[in-house]
Each structure stands twice: as C-alpha cells, then as structure tokens.
Amino acid sequence: MKFQKASDHIQYHPNPDGPVIGTVSRPVLEQDGLFFKDIDGSGTVSAVNDWRRSPQERAKAYAELLTTEEKIGQLFISDWRMAKYPPSGPMAPEDYQVIPDGSGLLDEGELCGKTIFGQQNLPGTTRLLKEWFSRHLILRANAKPEEIADWINQLHAVAEECGHFVPVQVVSNSRNENGEIVFGMNDAAGVFASWPGTLGIAAAVRGDGLDIIDRFADCIRREWDGVGMKKGYMYMADCVTDPRWQRAYGTFGEDPALITEIFERLIPGIQGSKEGVTPKGVSVTVKHFPGGGPRENGFDPHYAAGQWNVYRTPGSLQKYHIPAFCPAVKYHAASIMPYYSKPSDAKSARQQDREGNPVRFTPYGFAYNKEFIDGMLRGQMGFDGYINSDTGIVHNMCWGVEALDVPERIGFAVTQSGVDLISGLFDNEAARKAYSRGKRGYYETHPVPEGYRAEDLVLTDESLNRAVTRTLTELFQQGLFENPYRDPKRALAAVAEPSDWEEAFSVHRKSVVLLKNDGSLPLTDRNIQGKKLYVEAFHRDAKAGTAATKALRERLEKFHLTSDPAKADYGILMITPSSGEYFSATKGYLELDICENKTVRDVDERGRPTNKTHLETTLSGAKRIAEIANAIHANGGKVIANINITLPWEVGNVEPYTDALTAGFDTDPAATLDVIFGRFQPVGRLPVTLPRGDNVLAVDAEGICVSPNDVPGYDKDLYMPDEMKDENGKAYAYRDAAGNYYELDFGL
C-alpha cells in the first residue's frame, strides 16, 4: 500500500512506563495491558516483539529467524535518492527515470549507472525494500527537514508491509557544519543549525573550553532525531600529521589529547548516554580507524597512490593515532569505520600494539585487516559495536585484496576480519555467490587465490548472523522497531530552534583566530569614520571570488567603499584557498602554498618527484595580493586579511603584506567581520600548525619527506635536521614578522 504521506496514517499506542508503539500497517498486540508491535509476524509476544527484553537478546533472536536473503540484504549500505532530489556527484540525473508516488518523495524509477564505486543496476524504492530487503541507506540530498521526515516515514511504512519488519536506517555524513557542498565530503549544509567546520570548532574549544562540545552534540542529537535520521557518519577522530592530506578540513586538528577530550563529550552527547545509543539519541560512526593522518606525502587512499599508511617514526601509531579512538570504545559508539588504506611494512618503523607487542603489518586495507580490527580494536581495546566499512572497499578501493573477486572480498571482509556493514553498492548478488560457494564446495573444484584460505572467502551462517545481530541491536537500541516515525512539523521546529542557530553563530565568532595585529584592529566606528575601504574576496575559482566580492561589498555598503586600492585607507581581503580534488590525485603533491600558476614537480607512480612539472593554483589572483597591499600602504593605509583554513596553508605569500591577519575555518564571514570590527573579542587558537614553507615539506628522490608524515606539526621539530632550526630550535612552524610562530594553540 502507498499513502500520500505516511505521517497521515500513523497510529500510536502509548505504554505506561514503556515505549510508544507507532505503526502504519503493522499489527499491534496487547498483553497484560501493554502494547507490542508484531515485528516478526508471529502474532505472539515473542522474544523479538517483547520490548521488555534487551536489544541484544531481541537482535540475536531475530537474526536466527530471518531468512538468508533478508540477512544478505542487510549487509550493505549505499546511496539512495529522494524523488525530488536527483543524485549529484557519483550518478548523473540523466542516468535514471523518476516515477513519483503520491507524495513525490519515494523514487520508484529504475537506475542504471556507473558510479565512482562501481556499476550498479537498481530498482525503485519499494522493490529495494521489499524484494532486496535493503535496510541501510545513505542520504546525500540537502532537503528540508520536514521533507526528510516525510521521506523516512514513507520508507518505514513500506518496510512494515514485509513479512518480517525491519526499520530503515537512514544515514548521512555530518550536516551541522558550514562549508562548500561536495559529494562525499560535505553532502549537505545550511539546513540544520550551521556551526563552523570541525577545525573551527576545535579552534573555539581551544580558546573557550569543552562546554562548546556539549552544546554542539545536544543540538545534533535533537535535530537528527527530530527528522528521524538516527545515524551519522561522524566524526573524524583522525589526527592530522601530514598537512597535505585533503581531509584535514574534517578533523578536529593535530592534537590527539584535545581530539580525545572532544570525543569524550561528543559521543555520549549525540548518542544520548554514556552507555550507548538511546531511543532519543543518534548513532555515531567514528572515522577512520586506526587513523587516516599518516598519509605518505598527503596522498589520499581514494586513489592508488595513497593506499598506504606509513609510520616512519617509532611509536607514532600508539602515541598520536590510536588515542582518540579510545572514547569510542569507552562510551560504546555504535560503530567504527576503518580507513581504506593499508599499513606499510617496508616503509614503516617499529610500532607496538596496546600490549607492547610488535605490530604485524599485513598488507590489507584496514577493513580487511584482522590484526587491526579483530585483534587491536576488538581484542585489545574492547570495542563492542559494529564495523561499518568505508564506501567502496569491495570495488575501486579494495587495497590489498585486488587478487580476489567481488564475492571473495565480501566473504573476506565479513567472515575473516569481522566487518558487519559494507558501504559502497548494494552487492546482494555477489554476497549470494559468497554464501553459496561455502555451501556447495566451490573451492573443491576452483583454485583458492594464493595466500588465502577457502574458509575465509565465503559467507557463513555464523558470520551472517553475527553481522546482522550487531546492526539489528543498534536498531533496537534506537527504538526504531517500536516507533520509527516522526512528525514533519515537529521536525521543522527542531531544526528551526533559534537558540541552536544563535549558539552556532556564537561558536563561529569564537573560531576566529587573531594571528597578527599591529594595532590596526579592531576597526571601530571612530577610527574608520571618514576613511575609504577597499574590500575583495579571493577563491581558487575566479568566478566564485567575484561573487564573494560582490556579497562582501553589499555587507559593508554602509562604509565608504572604493574600488581603487591606491585610494584606500584600509583594505579587507578575504582569502579562501583550495587545493586538489577529492577523488583523484594531482600530478604532484597536494599544494599548500597560497599561489597562482606556480611551477611544481610531477610525481611518478611510486610517489617520487620527477623532472616533469605542471602549474598549480590554490587562489586565483594570489599574485595581486602584494600589489593591492603595496598600493594601500603607499597611501598610508592598513591591510587586514582573513585566511580560510581548510588545510594547513603556507601563508608566506599573504602574511608579510598584512598589518593584521585572522584565520577562520569555514567560518561565517559575518562572524569574521564581527572580530575585525570589534564587535567580538577574538578567543580562537590554532588547531593545527602552519608549515613554514616548501622547504619543510620537501621530498627527496626516494619520496621521503624531511618532516615525518606520521607526526603532528607541534612535534615535527623533534625530527627535523638541526641545520633547518632557528635560534629557538624551531624549523617547522611559520614565523611571522613579529616573531610569532603559527603553531598549535597560537592566537593573539
């Protein structure tokens, strides 16, 4: 059956001192004056249907009852679409047809398209839920809260029509940070209360305290629960150690101690308790175990050059990269996501595990790596949640297991290393092969790939039950079996709560770091009265810079603006660099210099510099910054600049030309201007160290960086050559004209 809006047909049955039962078509059982949903279709208050039992007990009972097909459908999570929001990024809109249902929210069209994660032929939503029994969907659409609630309600209503009811887990990347919308990074922004980027939150916390995290987490919990979206791929516990890693923007910086403290509050705050996720909480998926920071010269594992985690410094794994994952264990994070990459044995120094034993670096991507997942994370650290792989491990990012076919990769991940939910495509057919091979003696007549055991390459009943029990436990903990439905009007109200938006903007202000000031700031009404102001915004994309300049001039239209810097008394330059592409490698190393048409070296297939060169631009118009500053200074004026830090930029082409310099982290320009114009006293502190220049990131002929890739910026001087150090024993951090080092925790 289909309804215009599922929310119009929900029936509620409240229990005294128990959960409210919400149903559209599912039978409700009454016993001893209590109400129970007939989840398993038995017509009795069975172990599955009895909400008085523990989530773990109910999940185990249900996993034993479900069919093999139903369990296979629950092994995978992939992108799904709302009919009103065609997919962007991995699938082009022309790749599918939309046949709208009554509400216009369920997309019932078939889809055949090639994505960055592989080829996928998909049915409409109803078939996906009823015939494929898929129950884990990733939402990337930046929809309104009431539309999200309606859509999720409709998904649950369809799921109720199956013989066995399992609610639909809708997952999203984080939605509460400001930033450019980019597929796979920031899928959505501006609808939920919009805080600064996570680097900005860390900057604010360093200056104003951890209470910010309590309010941030509570806001997320209420908004996400309000729309019925009960699980987030958030947040990154990764410690930034190689500054050229493009995903540095999504971390809380380079200090493992602070990251750990943040997650101590973030996980229970979002999930609703210190004991794990609750019916009013939202599940947290902590990323990316055992830390994505130790990139080899910044190469990202979305492409082949970045498939290695390199630990060149003895003890760096346990000292810098593991600590922030400990709160995920302590506070029972629902799931942990391993990274795509695999550990490098040949290029790494000696590392120890949690018990002081030498770490055995088997060359498998971490989702396939039993030593790290089943050994260190579960065995030594005691993690009791489930493992949710990163997106695409079975296809394009199958580092270390390329010799296996897709069914074997599925079997190896689930049976051998203990992955419970595979992100990428709905690979049900391949999983059926992995299961049937184990039942019919496939490897008695087919060769086993060298280096593997046949029993590790198939799906077994034991491994299927284990995986599904873990993900079902989460759904029972969340209360979705009893009542998965949300009121769209209340969803809108939850996301529109004024105090959340006010608090978010307050943290935007607190995220601004004052790096340099010769007394030019603040620009008060008194010292700017009658003065001419030149303003310009710079982006890597020139058109974006032009649009941002127009918006900046409109924001400051009450002042006496001039378009000629030679006539200006003050200049305000808003600088937003950008470098690299998310899903493809640059010809060389990711460029951190704020530059335009800079000649840099290419790298070869082994990541070593070559004699070939190409041009890199991280900021269109970068060469004009000096010209503008010189013109303003010649008029006796002052130059104020703000740099948006999404990566630890080299600021040598900006700082020397400024009289005052601030930094933001996907910070609202209005908040930055509040600091510049003295409406807010800056408190932010740098969450990362800004490198001095190209010399401290230099890579030799063998691809070895002069500053270690696996050590955060604040400790890199411990390993830098003495001849590079100044009179204070410092080599790595940028030093400005006033003698200040732009290192971790700096801020005027």
22: pLDDT strictly greater than 90: yes
Q: Give the DSSP H or E segment for 399.
A: none
Q: What mean pLDDT value characterizes the chain?
A: 93
- Per-residue confidence (pLDDT) for residue 586, from 0 to 100: 86
- Per-residue confidence (pLDDT) for residue 581, from 0 to 100: 79
Tens of pLDDT, residue by residue over 278-296, are 999 999 999 999 999 999 9
- Per-residue confidence (pLDDT) for residue 110, from 0 to 100: 84
- Helix residue spans in 99-255 (DSSP H): 125-130, 145-160, 198-208, 211-227
Q: Residues with Cβ < 8 Å from 151, sequence gap 6 or more? A: 82, 105, 106, 143
Tens of pLDDT, residue by residue over 513-544, are 999 999 999 999 888 999 999 999 999 999 99
100: pLDDT strictly greater than 80: no
Tens of pLDDT, residue by residue over 249-269, are 999 999 999 999 999 999 999
- pLDDT category of residue 467 using cuts at 50, 70 and 90: very high
Mean pLDDT, range 193-220, rounded to an integer: 98
Mean pLDDT, range 12-19, rounded to an integer: 96
136: pLDDT strictly greater than 90: yes
- Per-residue confidence (pLDDT) for residue 90, from 0 to 100: 40
Higher pLDDT, 411 or 586: 411
Contact present, 520 and 660 (Cβ < 8 Å): yes
38: pLDDT strictly greater than 80: yes
- Cα pseudo-dihedral 657, 660, 666, 667, rounded to 10: -160
Mean pLDDT, range 452-475, rounded to an integer: 98
Contact present, 474 and 388 (Cβ < 8 Å): no
Mean pLDDT, range 188-207, rounded to an integer: 93
- Per-residue confidence (pLDDT) for residue 88, from 0 to 100: 41
The structure tokens 């199956």 sit at 162
- Per-residue confidence (pLDDT) for residue 107, from 0 to 100: 85
Mean pLDDT, range 145-149, rounded to an integer: 94
724: pLDDT strictly greater than 90: yes
- Per-residue confidence (pLDDT) for residue 376, from 0 to 100: 97
400: pLDDT strictly greater than 70: yes
Q: How far apart are CA 555 and CA 676, in angstroms?
A: 13
Mean pLDDT, range 696-710, rounded to an integer: 97
- Per-residue confidence (pLDDT) for residue 137, from 0 to 100: 97
Indicate the pTM of the whole model.
0.95
522 preceded by cis ω (within 30°)?
yes
91: pLDDT strictly greater than 90: no
300: pLDDT strictly greater than 50: yes
Tens of pLDDT, residue by residue over 488-513, are 999 999 999 999 999 999 999 999 99
- Per-residue confidence (pLDDT) for residue 525, from 0 to 100: 83
Q: Three-class SS string for 636-700?
A: CCEEEEEEECCCCCECCCCHHHCCEEEEECCCCHHHHHHHHCCCCCCCCCCCCCCECCHHHHCEC
- Per-residue confidence (pLDDT) for residue 83, from 0 to 100: 82
DSSP letter assigned to residue 449:
P
What is the residue type of 564? D
- Per-residue confidence (pLDDT) for residue 527, from 0 to 100: 87
- Per-residue confidence (pLDDT) for residue 95, from 0 to 100: 37
